[in-house]
Amino acid sequence: MKTMEHDHRVLITNDKPEALAPLFKERFPDLTIRFLSDADTLDATLAEFNPTVIFAYPGEPVPKSKFPVMINHPSVQWISNSGAGVEHMGQWNSKEKIVTNASGVNAPFLAQYAIAAHMSANIGMPLYARQQRQKLWRMEEWQPFDDRRFCIIGLGNIGQAVAGYAKALNLRVVGTRGIARPTPNVDEVYDSDNIMRALTGAEFVSVHTALTPETKGMISDDAFAAMADGAIFLNASRGAVVDEDALLRALDSGKVKTAILDVFQQEPLPKDHPLWEHESVIVTPHMADSVKDWHVNNARAFCDNLDRWLAGDQLQNIVDPKKGY
């Protein structure tokens, strides 16, 4: 059922409203929109403004711990999370509240990060960076990608984008998804109960699955044991998907040759954490999809969904509270 713009009040939490305001003014000149850039004013704003729709950037400026407060405010009907993960949202009644995420909006860019990282590690760039600091001139041979097993854990929007790049490089692509079904650019698809079959003999492992109770800690000692010796491992999903102690054991034993990690169980990564100092680890600060203008990309995607909302059409990227994605 179509609703009128005056029926809704939209709250946008973002610490750089000046960059987004022109876009919203152009797209929705008659809609009541308010920007919130100070987390300390959230409770008062909710009470006074009573938004029906919230578009929120986690941590910018509202911390993730405040998201359950927003979704459970009585006036809120729909909250759009500007990231893909919604594990910070808590529980909600899907019959009364709608939660959407930004899954797929920046998938091509995160996939570029992932495939570039695998390529860099395969060539040996981390080793050469260490040698450069030592002013050491020593060449090592490297093995081409052709027909090597590349395993993608989580064939969602991001995983499928990674698969496209991997297949173009002539890798043998395997992967997992909730239900095994033919997937473009993937040679073997396994359901989530058969992750070990997908990982067996994998020389490259790229993790892009959502964090759910079922996936928490799923990359364990057994998972690392299933991989090929000297595997290259990348996690750009959520830190809690990986057992970090098991990863350290795999690195120390040489089972994993190089780990590229963009996410961690605790962020920022504590300064005394051993992953900082491990010579076989590349740490990036949860920036895999932080491309130029990503805030605007996500805002445009929200605007498209807001058009659907106002027209009474089905929203895209509705999150199932039972699955978490």
User: Among all residues, which ones are annotated catalytic?
Assistant: 238, 267, 286
Q: How far apart are the first and last CA of the chain?
A: 25
Q: Is 30 exposed, middle or buried (0-12, 13-18, 19+ CB in 10 A)?
A: exposed
In eight-state DSSP terms, residue 136 is: -
In eight-state DSSP terms, residue 319 is: P
Which of 117, 122, 78, 70 is closest to 101 using CA atoms?
78
Q: Which alpha helices (H) appear in 84-189, and where do they start and end?
A: 107-123, 125-133, 157-168
Rounded to an integer, what distance in angstroms lies between the CA atom of residue 268 and that of residue 286? 9
Rounded to an integer, what distance in angstroms lies between the CA atom of residue 65 and that of residue 68? 7
* CB contact set of 32 (below 8 Å; sequence gap of 6+): 5, 6, 8, 9, 10
Rounded to an integer, what distance in angstroms lies between the CA atom of residue 165 and that of residue 169? 7
The gap from C-alpha 71 to its chain's centroid, in whole angstroms, comes to: 21
Q: How far is CA 261 from CA 117, 199, 238, 288, in A?
A: 10, 18, 10, 10
